[in-house]
Amino acid sequence: MRYEKHHRRIEMTIKQAIFAGSCTNVAAKPARKLPEFAFIGRSNVGKSSLINLLCDNRKLAKTSSTPGKTQLINHFLINDRWYLVDLPGYGYARMSQEGRDRLRRMIEGYISQSEELVVLFVLVDCRHDIGKIDLDFIHRLGENGIPFAILFTKCDKLGPNALKAQIERDKELLLQDWEELPPMFTSSAQDGSGKKEILDYIEQYI
């Protein structure tokens, strides 16, 4: 935390967010190399909505109530200094096996090859136990040494006690595979909760 003269806390605020392009691989990403913070998780978990919440712009990343909306890697240039990266979701059951394999290669290729990626936020719907597909994905992040944090979405859908209990269960599931827990955040694109914590976390890296 940094302080100005009069002890006013300097907070990360997003003053400018600009769509910087779509790509399917690292070679085709925006030419300007800057720190990247990316969002991944099951299809429909709320990745694009969260990016819009952080940027205070509901129209920036396209959202949809039907899964499989984001099919490309989208870069958003923030404050002319860093990128938020919206990735396609994984594990969309209704997509063909071929389509799912293609997305998986796109996602895993990108996160293992992007030298600018600082942290990958893995989004998990707070209403359900963290799934095998998420745990397997996180396991591979560990194998590949990719820094990540877990971000629970749609927290407006649970009361405080139910949310706490669910997170405790997820921690136990994670501890079956991991010695230590990663950083964790709760959020709601609906009521705006978690926004400040997530931005403050990002701020320390830039």
Can you give the binding site for Mg ion, defined by CB under 5 A?
A: 47-48, 69-70
Q: Which residues bind ligand GTP (CB under 6 A)?
A: 43-49, 63-65, 67-70, 88-89, 153-154, 156-157, 188-190
Q: Name which of 48 and 114 has its Cβ closer to ligand GTP.
A: 48
Residue 43 touches which of Mg ion, ligand GTP, none (CB < 5 to 8 A by kind)? ligand GTP
Q: Name which of 80 and 136 has its Cβ closer to ligand GTP.
A: 136
Confirm if 35 and 83 have CB atoms less than 8 A apart: yes
What crossing angle do the helices spanning 47-55 and 195-203 adopt, rounded to 10°?
Answer: 80
State the minimum distance, in angstroms, from the CB of residue 55 to ligand GTP: 13
How far is residue 49's CA from residue 43's CA, in Å, rounded to a whole number?
12
Report the amino acid identity of residue 183: P
Q: Tokens 């070679």 map to which residue?
A: 27
Give the number of other Cβ atoms within 10 Å of residue 180's Cβ. Answer: 6
Report the amino acid identity of residue 28: A
Cβ-proximal residues to 65 (8 Å cutoff; 6+ apart), any chain: 44
Residue 194 touches which of ligand GTP, Mg ion, none (CB < 5 to 8 A by kind)? none
State the minimum distance, in angstroms, from the CB of residue 50 to Mg ion: 9
Looking at residue 26, the DSSP 8-state letter turns out to be G
Residue 154 touches which of ligand GTP, Mg ion, none (CB < 5 to 8 A by kind)? ligand GTP
Residue 186 touches which of Mg ion, ligand GTP, none (CB < 5 to 8 A by kind)? none
Virtual CA dihedral for 102, 106, 109, 112, nearest 10 degrees? Answer: -130
Q: Name which of 60 and 77 has its Cβ closer to ligand GTP.
A: 60
Give the number of other Cβ atoms within 10 Å of residue 117's Cβ. Answer: 20
State the minimum distance, in angstroms, from the CB of residue 69 to Mg ion: 5
Q: Name which of 74 and 114 has its Cβ closer to ligand GTP.
A: 74
Q: Name which of 114 and 187 has its Cβ closer to ligand GTP.
A: 187
State the minimum distance, in angstroms, from the CB of residue 69 to ligand GTP: 4
